[in-house]
Amino acid sequence: MRANSFSSFALLCGGTLLGFHAFSWPLYLPESDFFLFQPDSARAFALLTALIAISVVSIDISKGALDSKSVAILGVLAALIASLRLVGAGAIGVEPMWFLLIIASFVFGSRTGFALGVLSLAISSIITGGIGPWLPFQMIAAGWIGLVSGVVGNTARNFSDVKQKIALVGISIFSSLSFGFLMDLQLWPWIAATDTQLSFLPGDSIANNLEKFVAFHFATALAWDIPRALTTATLVVMTATPIMKSLERAKSRLAFTSHAMAQTVPSK
């Protein structure tokens, strides 16, 4: 049990460190030709990220924290979150998929939230055909959103309904703004032309490149990040109570079922 928990934690830490390096390398390795610029490497990174998420779920299954019914519910949630991405398709930041990911992760916990985020983005990209070098970055960022929501959910387990909803709104705003920041960070070295004041300049100092990125981010963020934050927070306020009650009931019944099944297994 402890070994499995440590393995799951190690995978999450490894995925987080890998993602951090993938996003932030221009700020501290400005002279490198980073491997994720290559399409084959980007695909490999996407597969590795998906495998980490699947492994986290597999470890929970092996230690009895998830049974077949739990996995089925997570699969349904991942499909629903992926389908919601089709609504709005990211137009001016209107992305309703995030509210369900945040609420589900809040209820089911950090490890499940990370897996939900990664797998939902992978499924939605297959559905929409949005597969490209940006996909692994979107997957890891969505996994982080689920991870953060799950951590806050564990902390706020005994809070009142009003305080839980306030926490969810806070997560929605923070996650929406953070997602935009991270997507700009991975996109900035690729698209900013080399002859502008906001361009990434290989070999320039960290301070200068960081200053240019911040200016680049705020020049593009208002049109996307704020509508995303408002949309997600509004949907959370409107739907959090019924969705959380339904998911809590499902979680409680599945936990009871798993416990009852464990009781029927004869000890050796």
- CA distances for 201 relative to 29, 32, 38, 181, 195, angstroms: 11, 11, 19, 19, 9
Q: What is the per-residue pLDDT for 262?
A: 42
Rounded Cα–Cα distance for residues 153 and 183 (Å): 25
Residue 109 phi, psi dihedral angles, 5° rounding:
105, 175
Q: What does each of the 268 residues of the chain score in pLDDT, given as a tens digit? A: 445 566 777 877 887 887 887 787 777 765 555 555 555 565 677 677 777 777 777 776 666 656 667 778 888 899 999 888 877 655 566 788 899 999 999 999 888 898 898 888 888 888 877 777 778 888 889 999 999 999 999 999 889 989 999 999 999 999 999 999 998 888 887 765 566 777 777 777 788 888 888 888 888 777 788 888 999 999 999 999 999 999 988 888 765 444 433 433 444 4
Q: Does domain 36-251 have CATH number 1.10.1760.20?
A: yes
| Cα 169 to chain centroid, rounded | 16
Distance of CA 96 to CAs 4, 32, 84, 147, 164, Å?
34, 37, 6, 18, 20
| pLDDT at position 179 | 92
Burial of residue 40 (CB within 10 Å: 0-12, 13-18, 19+) is: exposed
